[in-house]
Amino acid sequence: MMESGVPLCNICGEQVGLINTNGEVFVACHECNYPVCKTCLDYEIKEGRSACPRCATPYDENEQESTNHATMASHPSTAEDVGVHARTVSTVSTVDSEYHDDTRNPIWKNRVESWKEKKNKKKKKESKTVVQEAAEVPPEQQMEEKPQLADAAEPLSRIIPVPKSQITPYRIVIIVRLIVLCLFFHYRVTNPVESAYPLWLISVICEIWFAFSWVLDQFPKWSPINRETYLDRLSARYEREGEPCQLAAVDFFVSTVDPMKEPPLITANTVLSILAVDYPVEKVSCYVSDDGGSMLTFESLAETSEFARKWVPFCKKFSIEPRAPEFYFTQKFDYLKDKVQPSFVKERRAMKREYEEYKVRVNALVAKAQKTPEDGWTMADGTPWPGNNTRDHPGMIQVFLGHSGVHDIEGNELPRLVYVSREKRPGYQHHKKAGAENALIRVSAVLTNAPYILNLDCDHYVNNSKAIREAMCFLMDPQVGRDVCYVQFPQRFDGIDKSDRYANRNIVFFDVNMKGLDGIQGPVYVGTGTVFNRQALYGYSPSNLPTIHKSSSSCSCCCRRKKPAKEKDLAEVYREAKREDLNSAIFNLREIENYDEHERSLLISQMSFEKTFGMSSVFIESTLMENGGVPDSANPSTLIREAIHVIGCGYEEKTAWGKEIGWIYGSVTEDILTGFKMQCRGWRSIYCMPLRPAFKGSAPINLSDRLHQVLRWALGSVEIFLSRHCPLWYGFGGGRLKWLQRLAYTNTIVYPFTSLPLIAYCVIPAVCLLTGKFIIPTLSNVASILFLGLFLSIIVTGVLELRWSGIGIEDWWRNEQFWVIGGVSAHLFAVFQGFLKMLAGIDTNFTVTAKAADDGEFGDLYIFKWTTVLIPPTTILIVNLVGVVAGFSDALNKGYEAWGPLFGKVFFSFWVILHLYPFLKGLMGRQNRTPTIVVLWSVLLASVFSLVWVRINPFVTKDDPSALVQNCIDIDC
């Protein structure tokens, strides 16, 4: 936002500048302090716009004269210089070379000069009209409006740093721990254990990797921040009474595939919460992507659109939260509290009855869909359902609700609701969720083209109706939102047991790691609950590009050839001017007259856009409309045909979709890859944590489903590691990704590989107990201090992290436990599966066999599903339990002098067992109902093994029988 304390001009993006050597910043408007530099002010005055663009206050005449004099003295007043300085805009890196010749000059610039003159004349007339209207306002009314305008000019959010009393000790302990680690490794490397050299070597390698992983995880948390938004200022600035609402439009994306696995009722609740959001209805459009082409999803949306006519006005009338009916009616709270409307109780009961009837209709559709007819499904008019073959069907679009269509029961307009099922044909790669999201980008651009996009999973509903306004406090702030590609909200979940046995809430990640990333370049994209800037998804760079320090010839989107300073400045000027010219030329194509076809093709450079965005002129026009909207001359019937065209299965062939624009292909975790590409271009993201969670969803709470979810995430990280987008080598040429941010992205792709040293380190204690060896030699005084310092630094780091983040110790401990559980199971399989898939082309799937669960609360928690992912942690548990029994048996056999060395070995084994305890409970089944057979077999095996170990110890040195005979001197031997 600021550089050296000098604000940035809101017209050109450069620093406003100083007017004297005392450091006084130039001010164009003394009423609202709207930041405008001298050059832009001079240009505005020459164009006839003599009033502030924010508050419409005329500029001071003395200021105008001094500004004109200063500008003429310091800059040549050429029309070309002024014109190119008028606007700073972003550009598409993939098509940059298409519009310039070898000398970086725009090849089409001269062809639009005549049209630009017409455009400038039109702007002059509009500005004069604005000034006249401002002059006609009585002075008394102007005085009343000035305080309101001043409030509206204030920032819409602010950064709240973590108090120094909390963050400074935390940073000191990190440095101290790093120093202790260096001393510790010096001791470990220089003091090998000769009697157990292989075990010692493996343990040292594992410890070095753990330290490396800690550095990757810890240093991106160096500068955590919190943020606060001001919704009242947002309304004062963009929702002034008596004026049209200026809030930006938002397109919501909801993705679903299989209605049998993703119940239609859950998807319907997500859609209803979107339609009832606290935002102007004409600014909201909801697109539901049915990637399975299911008639059940289609019919359930038809029922949902009908129920929305009653549900939406009810929500807005009584300001209820949350606005998903299933979760509103099932929450346990006093709904009469703070409700003063006498009709609320009656209407709530009626609405609950309406919802129960709606559920019955939807469940009847689900029951009917259990058995597919032999001839396939047919629609109401008797025609076959186009999506009967889920892998071979045409594209389908249905608009259920719209601003000019069906109204609610009170006669008010409803947000637009659109059903979309993209075309599927055999032989085409459809790229799963990423491909579905890209299809929604294109179809929404053709139909509504909102400048911002919010994507949600079908099981994540809007829990805070003001969540969109929270995001707009960042995206619509002229100073904050200039280079923001997305606003990420934390994920919160319903239906998780109080102890959160398998760390489903991910509190440490969302409340610690993401806050730390917000203080660098922004949080990573986590797949849902994210509000995007549409221009960032198109592959454009932010308007205020950082300086490129390095030259590189790599294939990165950020890389460009290093140029001399003068040539680089000239290229930057042309790049800034290019977007305005393209926008003018393409969007107003129908207004340009007296041009033949050849001149038009040269004017637009259409082919370069088609190579990037595909063969759709309507969609290409929409990509250049920074503020969104559909052209006034657009024909609705034409738009529908074009929307069907852009969701065709072959539309993305030979384009940049999935490579440089949209959701990026190449990984099952397309979210991490997409956010990484954006931030490599120079964008930053923002983490928004309102007091009331913005969105809530559901999570797999039983052990097997949770491990398979983690397996999918880890597999995506391995795929990114083995691809060209690996943060270890991608994007260095542009220099726009900060180093701490690169460390964070590196951590997101290398963490699955920690499974290999983690498994080794979990098995070593058991091996030590079974063999009588140990990985640590006899400790000296210095070594004891090092070990004590290391353990203390680990504990203090955790305590201070809990202090500044505000999370509880139970959440932190659950995260530590599941780090071990997931590391020795899902992460290990992800590493092998990733290498098989990326290097050998073998796609391995691990089957899950489900067993019936008991009815009741959290019944799913006790479902046992056998899968191969469970084998490694089960083996580690058994080996460590056997090792503990063997260790104690051996100590009993040798006497009291063996108990000292036993303590250290047993401590490490108990550390492993304690971390795997939630996994052990998951294996045993329902809480407090451990199967008797499991207890009996465990006791029996432990007893038998103990007796056998005492009688026959394979690790005890065998004595010579003859020597024993000679030593026997009496019967007691």
Contact between 715 and 668 under an 8 Å Cβ cutoff? The reply is yes
Dig out the tokens for 793 from the structure.
């630094």
Task: Classify residue 960 by its DSSP letter.
Answer: P
Least reliable range by pLDDT among 45-54, 85-94, 960-969: 85-94
- Report how far residue 283's alpha carbon sits from residue 680's, in angstroms, rounded to the nearest whole number: 31
- As a three-state string, the secondary structure of 187-235 is HHHHCCCHHHHHHHHHHHHHHHHHHHHHHHHHHHHCCCEEEEECHHHHH
The whole-number average pLDDT for the span 181-185 is 91
Fold match between domain 1-59 and domain 232-542+658-699: no
Range among 124-138, 325-339, 516-530, 623-637 rated most confident: 516-530
pLDDT band at 70 (very low <50, low <70, confident <90, very high): very low
**pLDDT (mean) for 120-140:** 49
Task: Spell out the domain ranges in the chain.
Answer: 1-59, 232-542+658-699, 739-952
Q: Is 432 annotated as a binding residue?
A: yes
Give me the pLDDT at residue 65, please. Answer: 47
Q: What is the model's pTM?
A: 0.76
Structure-block tokens of residue 113:
């000069």
Residue 573 is predicted with a pLDDT of 41
- Please tell me the CATH superfamily of domain 1-59, with its number: Zinc/RING finger domain, C3HC4 (zinc finger) (3.30.40.10)
Q: Residue 842 has which token pair? A: 């073998």
Q: How confident is the model over 24-58, as pLDDT tens digits? A: 677 878 766 777 887 777 777 766 667 776 666 77
Would you say 383 and 358 are in contact if contact means Cβ atoms under 8 Å apart? no
In three-state secondary structure terms, 514 is: helix
Convert the pLDDT of each residue in 136-172 to its tens digit: 545 555 444 445 555 556 888 999 988 988 899 999 9
Q: Are 842 and 835 spatial neighbours (Cβ–Cβ below 8 Å)?
A: no
Q: What is the mean pLDDT of residues 595-620?
A: 66
State residue 929's pLDDT score.
52
Give the integer Cα–Cα distance in Å for 892 and 670: 56
Higher pLDDT, 336 or 421: 421
Has residue 133 got a pLDDT over 80?
Answer: no
Chain-wide mean pLDDT for the chain? 76
pLDDT interval class at 311 (50, 70, 90) = very high
- pLDDT tens-place string over residues 666-710: 888 888 999 999 998 889 999 999 999 999 998 887 788 888 889
Half-sphere exposure of 958 (CA within 13 A, CB side): 5
Q: Bridge-partner residues for 98, per DSSP?
A: none
Is 704 marked as a binding-site residue?
A: no
Higher pLDDT, 852 or 392: 392
Is the pLDDT higher at 291 or at 933? 291
Q: Residue 584: is its pLDDT beyond 70? A: no
972 is catalytic: no
- The annotation status of 113 as a binding-site residue, yes or no, is no
Question: What average pLDDT does the segment 356-377 reach?
Answer: 89
User: Among 79-88, 676-685, 893-902, where is mean pLDDT lowest?
Assistant: 79-88
**Percent of the chain at pLDDT above 90?**
28
pLDDT level of residue 590 (50, 70, 90 thresholds): very low
> Into which CATH architecture does domain 232-542+658-699 fall?
Alpha-Beta Complex (3.90)
Has residue 434 got a pLDDT over 80?
yes
Residues 381-392, mean pLDDT to the nearest whole number: 85
Confidence check: pLDDT of 392 > 80: yes
Beta strands per DSSP E along 582-625? none
Exposure string (b/e) for 360-370, b if CB count within 10 Å is 16 or more? eebeebbeebe
Average pLDDT over residues 508-514: 91
What integer pLDDT is reported at residue 274 of this predicted model?
Answer: 95
Residue 20, pLDDT > 60, answer no
Confidence bin at 585 (pLDDT 50/70/90): very low
- Answer yes or no: is 136 a known binding residue: no
Q: Which long-range contacts (CB under 8 A, 24 or more apart) does 101-109 make?
A: 104/567, 104/570, 104/571, 104/574, 105/574, 106/574, 106/577, 106/578, 106/581, 107/602, 107/605, 108/581, 108/585, 108/602, 108/603, 108/604, 108/605, 109/577, 109/581
Q: What is the pLDDT of residue 75?
A: 38
Highest mean pLDDT among 265-279, 490-504, 808-822: 265-279
Say yes or no to pLDDT of 754 above 70. Answer: yes
Contact 722, 834 (CB under 8 A): yes
Q: Is 959 known to sit in a ligand binding site?
A: no
pLDDT of residue 656: 87
Lowest-confidence range among 357-371, 926-940, 953-967? Answer: 953-967
Of the residues 291, 408, 459, 811, only one is catalytic, namely: 291
Say if residue 255 carries a ligand binding annotation: yes
The answer to whether 515 is annotated as binding is no
Given a cut of 80, is residue 198 above it in pLDDT?
yes
151 is catalytic: no
459, 500, 671, 705: which one is catalytic?
Answer: 671
Q: What is the mean pLDDT of residues 373-402?
A: 86
Interval 268-287 mean pLDDT: 93
pLDDT of residue 591: 42
Higher pLDDT, 755 or 337: 755
